[in-house]
Structure 1
Amino acid sequence: MTVYVAVALTTVILLFTATHSSTIGVEYVFRLLQVQDRERAPSSVQLSAARAVLDRFIPSHSSSFQFNIITKEQCGGVSCFMISNHPYSNLLGAPEIIISGVTGVELLSGLHWYLKNLCGAHISWDKTGGSQLSSVPKAGSLPRMKDDGLLIQRPVPWNYYQNAVTSSYTFAWWDWERWEKEIDWMALQGINMPLAFTGQEAIWQKVFAKFNISSSDLNDFFGGPAFLAWSRMANLHGWGGPLPQSWLDQQLAMQKKILTRMYELGMTPVLPAFSGNVPAALKNVYPSAKITRLGNWFTVDSNPRWCCTYLLDATDPLFIEIGKSFIQQQVKEYGRSSHIYNCDTFDENTPPTDDPEYISSLAAAIFKAMQSGDDDAVWLMQGWLFAYDPYWQPPQMQALLHAVPIGKMIVLDLFAEVNPIWTTSNQFYGVPYIWKVTFFYYFLDR
C-alpha cells in the first residue's frame, strides 16, 4: 500500500518590520499573550500532563526527572526551561535531574534537550527514525549537568506546526492512540501553536442548521475524509463524500480529546474560522443572498458536481452572522479557545475581481465575524496564496493585509525556505508574520 504523507513542520521566527505599524502589532501580540497566560491550564494540570508524556515516552526513567512549573519572571520575562542536577540525586530513589519550565511544553522541550544533547537520543516520527533511546544510560546513571545547569529562553512566543492540508494528507485516519503520540511529539519538540482542525464538519452541521440548511443539504458540500482540506478551502465540494453521521460525531469527540490534551500541556491550538465558503443549498434558502460561484480548481473533468464552489459576498449580512455563529459554536462545544483562528480565502482560487476594494471588504468581514464571536480574536492566515497566484500584486496584498487592524492578523510565510514572500512584500507591509519551513515526505508502506 502506498501512503502519501505530507507533513508541514515549522521552524518559527515571529518577525516584525521596523515600522510604526509593526510596533502597534507587537503591542497587540503581547496583549494576546497576557490573555493566554491568564487562561492557561493550572500548573498542577500541566505538571500532570507532562509527567504522563514522560511515562509514555521513557517509562524506565519516570522517577529520574523532577518537573517544576515556574513563572516567566523567573525566566527573564519570557518562556523558558531550566535544567539542573537534583541536590539529593545521590540518595537511592531520588530524582537525578530537575527540569523547570513555564508550561508543560517547556518542560518536555527541556526533557528532549537533555536526552538529545547529554544522552545522544533521537526523537522523531517513526518513518524518520522514530524514538532512538538506546543510548540513554539506565536510571541512576544519567549524565550530570555542568556547573549551575542550563537556562534556555524561547526566542519567539510561538512555534507553529502543520498547514491546512496536513489534515487530509496525514490525519484523516488517525485514532486517539496515534493523535496522543503526535501531541507528545509536538510537546517534546517545543511546538506550542498547532492547528486543530479535526471535527469542524460537525460544528458546521450545527451552524448551518441555524440557517435552515439540513444535514442532507451538506452531503455535496463536505468532501470525503482524504479531501476535506480542499473542501474546507473552497477548492472542491462533495468529492469523496458524503460523510456518515457516525464519522462526523466521532471526529468531533476526537477533537475534544485533542484540544483537552493540548490545553493541558499549555499549548495554543488554532481553530478554524469562516472564509465565505457556503453550500449550494444556501442559495435556495436565501435567494437574495449575494453568492458567487468560483472557477474550477483541479477538479475531475471540471465537473460542476465537484468543482466551482460558492462564495458568500462579504457585504451580505449573512456573512457576519454565519462567521460569528461558527466561532461561538466552537467555543460552546470546546469550552474555550486560544483566540487564534485560521482562515484562508482564495487558496489556489483566483478572486472574481482584482479590485482592491473587493479584497479589503472581504478581509474586513472575515475578521469582523471572528471578532463578533471572540473579542480577543486574532486571524492567522497562510501566505501560500501570495506565492501561488500572480494575481496577488502589491495593491491586492495590501488591501487584504491592511483591512485588519495591525497586530490582529499574523501571516504564515508558508514556503519561506524556498519562496519567501517577506523579502518581496516589504515584510508583509508591516503585518506580523511567521517564517515557516514546509517539508513534504513521501512514504512507501509495504
Structure 2
Amino acid sequence: MRYIIGIVWLCIGCMLAGCTDKKGTLDKEAAYALIKRVVAEKADHFKVEYVARENGKDVFELEQKGKKIVLRGNNGISVASALNHYLNEYAHCQYGWNASHMQLPDPLPEVKQKVRKVTPYVYRHYFNYCTFSYTAAWWDWERWQKEIDYMALHGVNMPLAMTGQNAVWDRVYRSMGFTDEDMDRFFTGPGYFMWFWAGNIDGWCGPLPKSWMESHEELQKKILARERELGMTPILPAFTGHVPPTFKEHFPEARLRQVNWEGRFDDTYLLEADDPLFQTIGNRFMEEQIRTFGTDHLYGADTFNEMFPPSEDSTYLDGISKAVYQSMAAVDPEAVWVMQGWLFHDKRDFWKPAQMKAYLGAVPDEHLIVLDLWGEEFPIWDRTEAFYGKPWIWCMLHNFGG
C-alpha cells in the first residue's frame, strides 16, 4: 500500500471542454500587499496595472516605465505571476517552499522588452488532503501567508482548502443530538485528519479540543479571504456518507455499511446512499459551511479512499456517487465535484470499466472534475478513454514524504 504523505499537488494542465472560472478581477490593494510581503523595501519600485483576460484565460505583462517596473494582470494571481517572472528571469531570485533567495540587486535590473504571457489552462490545482495533516497541521497564519503568496507567485488558482472543517461538522452533528462523547469518538487528532476526512478512521489520537476547532475556524476564514482576494477559487469539502461510530444509537433505523481501511484499524460507517438521512446530513453540512466560509462552488469528496467499496454492483456505485453530488447540488446548484482519482489507481483491480463508468456517469459532465493525481507516474486517463469523457486535470505528485 502506498501512503500519500505530506504532498503538494501541482496540476500542470486542464483538459476541460467549456469549463469556466470566475471573471477576472484585480484587487490592487491585495496585489500591492503581496508585493510588499515578497520584496519588502523594494516594493516601491513596482507598479500594478490591470490587463484584460485573453479568450477567458489569465494573462500577465511585465514592462519598464521610467524607473518603475509595471506588473499587469487580470487578477492578483496574474500580477504575482508577473512578479515571479521578474524575480526569476531578471533579478535571479527565488521565492521557495522551504527556503528563498531574495537578495534583489541594487539597482534593480531593467525590463528591456515588454513580456506578455497567457496561460493555456483554466484551472491550476494545488494541495492534497494529506498536505493538511502531515505538512500543514501546525501552520499558523504567518506560515499560511507565505504559502498563499507562493501559490499566487506560481499561478495557482484552485487550492484545496480544508483547514477548520471539524468545527462545521461539530455544529451539524450537535444540532442532530450528538454529544461530547460522540464527537470525541469521531474526530481524530490533527495529524490524522486526512484519513478521517476520507472515512478511513475514527477517533485516532483524539479527542480534538474545542479550542482547536475554534482557532482553526478563524484561521480558515483568513486563509479563504486571502485566497479569494487574489483571485483563487478554493475547494471546500462535501458529505461522503461517513458518519460517527455512535450513529445507530441516535438513529436506530438508519441503514449503514461497514467499511475497513486495509484491515489496519476498526471499521468505519458509511450511510447508505438511499437512506433519507444522507441528503439531510449532506444538505445541513453544505448550508452550515456556506454560512461559515462562503463558497466558490468547488467541492471535494472522496468516498472510497484506499478502501474497497462494499459492492461492485453498478447500481450501488451509481447510487452513492449520485447521492454525494445531489447533497451538494440541492444547496448549491452551481456545485462542481472535484474528485480525486487516487481510488482508481490504488484499487485498480476493483475499478474496472463498468464500475468506473457507473461511478463517474452518475454526475453531469459540467459538474465534475477528476484529478488524475499521479499522472506523471501512473496515469489513469490513458486507460479510461480520458475518464470516459469527464473533465479532468493532469497532476503530478512531487513526493511522498513532506
How does the TM-score come out when normalised to structure 1?
A: 0.86
In the alignment, what sits opposite 1:63?
44
Q: Confirm or deny that 1:362 pairs with 2:331.
A: no
CA distance in 1, matches of 2:267, 2:400: 30
Match for residue 69 of structure 2 among 97, 101, 105? 97
Q: Confirm or deny that 1:394 pairs with 2:362.
A: no
Match for residue 183 of structure 2 among 215, 218, 229? 218
- Given residue 133 of structure 1, which amino acid in structure 2 is its aligned partner? M
Per-residue CA deviations over 1:134-174 (Å, capped at 9, x if unaligned) read: 3x322x4422232xx11111111111001111111111111
Match for residue 267 of structure 1 among 223, 226, 232? 232
In the alignment, what sits opposite 1:92?
none
1:236–1:297 CA contact under 8 A, matched in 2:
no
- Runs (5+) with no aligned partner, structure 2: none
Q: Confirm or deny that 1:144 pairs with 2:111.
A: yes
CA distance in 2, matches of 1:255, 1:145: 42
Q: Confirm or deny that 1:161 pairs with 2:161.
A: no
RCO higher in 1 or 2 (8 Å CA, sep ≥ 6)?
Answer: 1
CA distance in 2, matches of 1:439, 1:337: 28
CA distance in 1, matches of 2:87, 2:355: 48
In the alignment, what sits opposite 2:10?
10
- Given residue 318 of structure 1, which amino acid in structure 2 is its aligned partner? L
Deviates more, 1:433-442 or 1:177-186: 433-442
- 1:304-383 counterparts in 2 under 5 A? 307-334=266-293, 336-383=294-341
CA distance in 1, matches of 2:55, 2:362: 35
Residues 202 and 422 of structure 1, relative CA distance in 2, 3 Å threshold: same
Match for residue 187 of structure 1 among 142, 148, 152? 152
Shift of 1:296: 4.1
Shift of 1:64: 0.9
Report how many aligned residue pairs link the two structures: 398
Q: Confirm or deny that 1:133 pairs with 2:93.
A: no
CA RMSD of aligned residues (A): 1.6
1:6–1:439 CA contact under 8 A, matched in 2:
no
CA distance in 1, matches of 2:225, 2:307: 34
- 1:150-299 counterparts in 2 under 5 A? 150-297=115-262, 299=264
Q: Confirm or deny that 1:78 pairs with 2:57.
A: yes
Match for residue 397 of structure 2 among 427, 432, 438? 438
Match for residue 88 of structure 2 among 113, 116, 139? 116
- Aligned-residue sequence identity (percent) comes to 37
Shift of 1:180: 0.8
How does the TM-score come out when normalised to structure 2?
A: 0.96
- Given residue 105 of structure 2, which amino acid in structure 1 is its aligned partner? P
- Given residue 221 of structure 1, which amino acid in structure 2 is its aligned partner? F
Residues 77 and 333 of structure 1, relative CA distance in 2, 3 Å threshold: closer
Q: Confirm or deny that 1:416 pairs with 2:381.
A: no
CA distance in 2, matches of 1:322, 1:367: 13
Shift of 1:85: 1.2
Residues 411 and 76 of structure 1, relative CA distance in 2, 3 Å threshold: closer
Deviates more, 1:60-69 or 1:210-219: 210-219
1:205–1:215 CA contact under 8 A, matched in 2:
no
SS of residue matched to 1:341: strand
- Given residue 47 of structure 1, which amino acid in structure 2 is its aligned partner? K
CA distance in 1, matches of 2:304, 2:203: 18
